[in-house]
A and B are shown apart, each in its own frame.
Chain A
Amino acid sequence: MKKNWWKIIAVVFVLYTIIAGFLLKVPAQPILHESIRNLYFHVPMWFSMMTILFVSLWNSIKYLSKSNIESDLLASQAAHTGMLVGALGLITGSIWARYTWGAWWVADTKLNGAAITMLIYLAYFVLRGSIDEEQKRARISAVYNIFAYVMLVVFLMIIPRMNDSLHPGNGGNPGFNKYDLDSNMRMVFYPAVTGWILFVVWIFTLRVRLEKVKRKIYLND
């Protein structure tokens, strides 16, 4: 129980996000209307994705310095979890875009960033799939993971600042903090971010355990 306190926090926070997120009062904004509630679900997805992909990067670096196959398992499972969250982020974002910007997909630097992230990690899985030898696969994919993550961060940090975006906080659009994220919304938004990140880390640990069990069964056969 002592080790699992953060799982309880995750469940409580996510439950709170769902209940309070749909029931509490939100500021009435033009265009956004009630869809502003998606902030509690769409934005935390990207926060959790970047967190879990950083875990993946960290384990890849660790693999290159220590050559411990466990780090490779953690890195690949973290990337898988990241893709799951990224897909959820794309879906929630797409629905939101349909009702506020008028289309499922719009030309926007942040959307491009999201799409590139998905492509990079799908390529990472294809790369893993095409190398049979375990140690070699771990080493080569770790190198690609580090290389791709740095390029991705450069893309996400620099390019959106040089182009306009439809997202808040870019290209003349005010950030949420400015006026519409009032204290009422903050009370849900911060727990939502924490809760979703912890929740995703939990999914990640479950995936790692499952993968370890699978390997054990495979070795015993």
Chain B
Amino acid sequence: MAELIQILISGLAAGSIYALAAVGFTLLWQASQTINFAQGEFVMLPGFFVLIGMALGLPMWPAVLFALVLSLLVLGAAFKKLIVEPMLPHGTLPLVIATIALGLLMKESVKEFYGATAQPFPAVFPQTVYNVAGASVSAQDIGNLIVSMLAIGGLQLFLNRTRTGRCMQASAQNPGVAEILGVDVKRMVLYTFLINAALATIASVLISPIYLAKFSNGETLGLVAFIAAIVGGFNQIRGALVGGLLVGVIDNLSAVYVSAEYRQAMPLLLLIAIILLRPQGLLGTKEGRAV
């Protein structure tokens, strides 16, 4: 029982970070039909921005701020202006290829220009471990869970309660009508990309102390974000949240109760089962067209 609680908590903590990446993923899809195959690398890169900032002599938190600004510029604005915008009129396929290539570019650049070895990353939370009813619960897990939940909760509030947020939702649902009603659709799409970059930065700062900063981190992270987004429902933020938590828990459970060799297979089987039985995702709403 104690073991189970332990697994559940660390699964939820990991899952909440996956959820951050998955939420960004669904936001991009809603705002501009971009399936971002580089999402994992988007989460990998800001960690290196922090390390670069610290190498320039900044203390930890200013370095995180530096990374955030850099991410907003590179992963948000530049990504949208240079890659997504010119390709949107040509449909989703060239964009899919371009994001695959972009992921490769980011991964290889970090490997060549920063280093192929895993870099130690400063811890955000103290390394203390509490003993709760026989289960050891680390402060790091609890901290990660709380920060991710606050970020997603804040985003949800922003989207539902502020004028800008509602304009963003309107542009995602029906750009044509939103434009007629006076919403600056292009700017709203840009905001979406900036939010995705910010979420990626938060996820990166939270996850890098656990996995260490490594150029290849994006491979698994991207896949997990992807699965989480589909499992939860592609057109819902809460879907991506539930998907992320679920994938985190299943991943940790299968590491213990299923063989280590097939650990990676469990989330994939979940993905296939969802597509078979409930293609719109657990919380998604049906869009229901085959054409």
State yes or no: do A and B come from one complex.
no
B residues at A contact (CB < 8 Å): none
A residues at B contact (CB < 8 Å): none
